[in-house]
């Protein structure tokens, strides 16, 4: 027998979670593309280095129309990592792969000066987790000079709510309930009990950190590396904790 066939070697397979933007095109495509161009003009670099999934579920188009749409997007530097809702016969070599099973998250809103990140009535920037990540018509662009490096949520984040701020740090003055989630491009600070899910450094920031007053989290993630509170040392449960990424491992220590 060939020696190469008997030389068993292990392959390391790791689990990672990534935040992707979902685009849901609408017919007629020329009008939808015009909206996309308008977004690009008002928010340069919005799609830069962001993974994008194209959702064509229930869209009555043929393969030729799909390929033309992918070409239009490629010409605008919108890189499609996968197709959701595409018929198997539509997929051919050189096209993005079919994807399914994605978990919906909250809309990604890019604020402008007229829409503050924390509204005047102190309502938190939290949305139902039952909506798609983003649809072009729902995006509110902002010029690069107006992007804020951090936001402060002055109320607890309730179960079923999501706070998504890919531009920087998120601070919660209160607790994060079980079933709630915080997704930040930078670090996350929770000045209360953390019982939900937190994903820091969501767009590839390995230096992001997580701080909380009381650790009871369902899931913790930094730069796509994730763990649960149960997998951490038992003496950290219910304590004030600081978490950071060390290589491919999340480290944690108590805050004195």
Asked if residue 167 has pLDDT above 50, the reply is yes
Query: DSSP labels for 163-210?
Result: EEETTSEEEESS-B-TT-EEEESS-EEEEEEE-SEEEESTTT-TT--E
Calculate mean pLDDT across residues 219-238.
86
State the alpha helices, DSSP H only, in 76-190: none
Domain 146-254 in the same topology as domain 21-99: no
Q: Where are the domains of the chain?
A: 21-99, 146-254
pLDDT reported for residue 195: 92
**Cα(74)–Cα(18) distance, rounded to whole angstroms?**
21
Please state which CATH number belongs to domain 146-254: 2.160.20.70
Q: Please, which pLDDT band fits residue 100 given cuts at 50, 70 and 90? A: confident
CATH class of segment(s) 21-99: alpha beta
Q: What is the pLDDT of residues 7-32, one digit of tens each?
A: 455 566 555 556 677 888 999 999 99
The region of weakest confidence among 164-168, 200-204, 226-230 is: 226-230
Calculate mean pLDDT across residues 39-58.
74
| Between 238 and 103, residue with greater pLDDT | 238
**Cα(144)–Cα(138) distance, rounded to whole angstroms?**
19
Q: Quick one: which of 28, 132, 16, 18 has its CA closest to 84?
A: 132
At residue 55's C-alpha, the angle toward residues 25 and 34, to 5°, is: 20
Asked if residue 130 has pLDDT above 80, the reply is no
């Amino acid at each position: 027998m060939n020696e190469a066939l008997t030389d068993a070697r292990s392959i390391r397979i790791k689990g990672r979670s990534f935040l992707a933007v979902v685009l849901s095109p609408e017919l007629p495509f020329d009008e939808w593309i015009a909206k996309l161009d308008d977004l690009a003009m008002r928010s340069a670099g919005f799609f830069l280095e962001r993974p994008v999934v194209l959702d064509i579920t229930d869209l009555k188009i043929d393969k030729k129309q799909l390929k033309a749409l992918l070409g239009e997007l490629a010409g605008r530097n919108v890189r499609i990592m996968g197709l959701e809702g595409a018929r198997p016969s539509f997929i051919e070599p050189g096209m993005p792969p079919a994807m399914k099973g994605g978990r919906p998250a909250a809309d990604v809103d890019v604020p402008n000066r007229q829409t503050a990140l924390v509204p005047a009535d102190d309502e938190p920037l939290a949305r139902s987790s039952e909506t798609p990540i983003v649809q072009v018509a729902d995006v509110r662009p902002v010029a690069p000079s107006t992007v804020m490096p951090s936001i402060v949520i002055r109320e607890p984040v309730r179960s079923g709510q999501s706070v998504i701020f890919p531009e920087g740090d998120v601070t919660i003055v209160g607790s994060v309930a079980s079933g709630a989630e915080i997704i930040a491009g930078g670090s996350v600070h929770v000045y209360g009990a953390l019982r939900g899910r937190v994903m820091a450094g969501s767009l590839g920031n390995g230096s992001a950190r997580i701080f909380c007053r009381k650790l009871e989290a369902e899931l913790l993630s930094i730069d796509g590396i994730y763990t649960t509170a149960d997998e951490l040392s038992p003496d950290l449960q219910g304590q004030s904790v600081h978490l950071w990424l060390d290589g491919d491992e999340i480290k944690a220590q108590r805050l004195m």
